[in-house]
């Protein structure tokens, strides 16, 4: 019997879910973040075992074959997956947060119906567009691809247990904390 709850947080790129998750981790010492596996190359500053476990496609496929993932999916030609054993071990110590996309989140819910799914939504689409542009690091084409993806992800909101609009950061974090306490 695991001690913690499994909280799955999703939301479109640029919605601020990373910031929410970081604040949540600071405030809840018994919660930890799951580290996903990916076949994409590390970006500058990303650390093995912290940002992701970076795997070759061959190794990733071997892990799929032996049932090593709670869920996995393909994004922009790279695989991403939640390592099952890693999550189970962390759940014995406390709450575990997964920051994954909608497809992954819904697969987690099928595998573990006790998981709590939280969607972080932008106040409006224009605001999300402004935030994505504000990063200043992305090409126009990448931004429009992400916006299409955002529409897809937000379109699945009704399948989530909770939807939180990230209008005000403090309020949004408080709402997620409240959900963890309540569940």
Interacting residues with ligand 5GP (CB under 6 A): 36, 40, 71, 73, 75, 80-82, 100-101, 103-104
Nearer to ligand 5GP, 154 or 182 (CB): 154
Nearer to ligand 5GP, 71 or 95 (CB): 71
Shortest Å distance, C-beta 154 to ligand 5GP? 13
Distances (CA, A) of 162 to 9, 175, 177: 10, 10, 12
The distance of closest approach from Cβ of residue 143 to ligand 5GP in the complex, given in angstroms and rounded to an integer, is: 14
Among residues 61 and 75, whose Cβ is nearest to ligand 5GP? 75
Nearer residue to ligand 5GP within complex by CB, 58 or 77: 77
For the bound state, the minimum distance from the C-beta of residue 170 to ligand 5GP, rounded and expressed in Å, comes to 23
Least Å distance, CB 120 to ligand 5GP, is: 11
Which residue(s) pair with 37 in the sheet? 53, 81
Residue whose beta carbon is closest to ligand 5GP = 104
CA 101/CA 103 separation, integer angstroms: 6
């Amino acid at each position: 019997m695991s001690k913690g709850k499994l909280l799955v947080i999703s939301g479109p790129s640029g919605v601020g879910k990373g910031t929410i998750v970081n604040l949540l981790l600071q405030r809840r010492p018994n919660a930890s973040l799951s580290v996903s596996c990916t076949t994409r190359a590390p970006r500058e500053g990303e650390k093995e075992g912290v940002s992701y476990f970076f795997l070759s496609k061959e190794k990733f496929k071997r892990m799929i074959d032996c049932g090593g993932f709670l869920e996995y999916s393909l994004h922009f030609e790279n695989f991403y997956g939640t390592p099952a054993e890693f999550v189970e071990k962390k759940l014995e110590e406390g709450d575990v947060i997964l920051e994954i996309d909608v497809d992954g989140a819904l697969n987690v819910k099928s595998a573990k119906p006790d998981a709590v799914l939280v969607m972080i939504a932008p106040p409006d689409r224009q605001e999300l567009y402004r935030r994505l542009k504000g990063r200043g690091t992305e090409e126009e084409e990448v931004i429009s691809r992400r916006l299409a993806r955002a529409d897809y992800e937000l379109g699945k909101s009704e399948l989530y247990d909770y939807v939180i609009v990230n209008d005000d950061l403090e309020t949004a974090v408080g709402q997620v904390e409240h959900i963890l306490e309540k569940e």
